[in-house]
A and B are shown apart, each in its own frame.
Chain A
Amino acid sequence: MNKFLALFVTLVAGALLAYGAEGLPPWGDPQQPASIHVSPRYIEKTVDETGVPNAVTSVLADYRGYDTMFETSVIFTAGVAVMMLLRGMNHGKRS
């Protein structure tokens, strides 16, 4: 691909991202929308409901257990895919 065309596309994408960054809340603002919707409940109730002080572990394994479960199956699928790709090719070459 032409390098100047790539540079042009990159600069246009960067300009669009910079235009979008103007609408984001200030960095580290405690009142930004991401921090006031569900996470206060997780932080306040984690010790009472699960007994785990580390909020990341309790959200990872309990409140959002489905997420982690299918993520584990994605890792398992990746391992099986690597096994099939490399060993299958080798087998075909030998026979």
Chain B
Amino acid sequence: MIAALNLTFLVFAVIVACAALNVKDLLSAIVLLSAFSFFMCLLWTEMGAVDVAFTEAAVGAGVSTAFFVAAIYNTTRRTKD
């Protein structure tokens, strides 16, 4: 539990979350959401929750992104906001 590392990862997570909500392309938004998920994984490793971080790296950043990309492939990339 290192406070400086924790603060850095939290700031990056907030920036990436805001970027994922504001980018004008859905595929980019999903890639940014994957990056957000990976920062969450780093945060949990830093807090000592290794099992949860492992699950997040396998499920959140891996399989979840594959689901989103599959849904985008069947719908559209276009968004207005």
Q: A residues touching B (Cβ–Cβ < 8 Å)?
A: 28, 54, 56-57
Contact = CB atoms under 8 A, between A and B. Distances in A.
A28 B51 contact: no
Contacts of B51: 54, 56-57
What interface size band does chain B fall in? under 10
Contacts, number: 4
Interface string B41-60: 00000000001000000000
Interface string B17-42: 00000000000000000000000000
Contact of B1 (A28, A54, A56): A28
A55 to B, nearest CB: 9
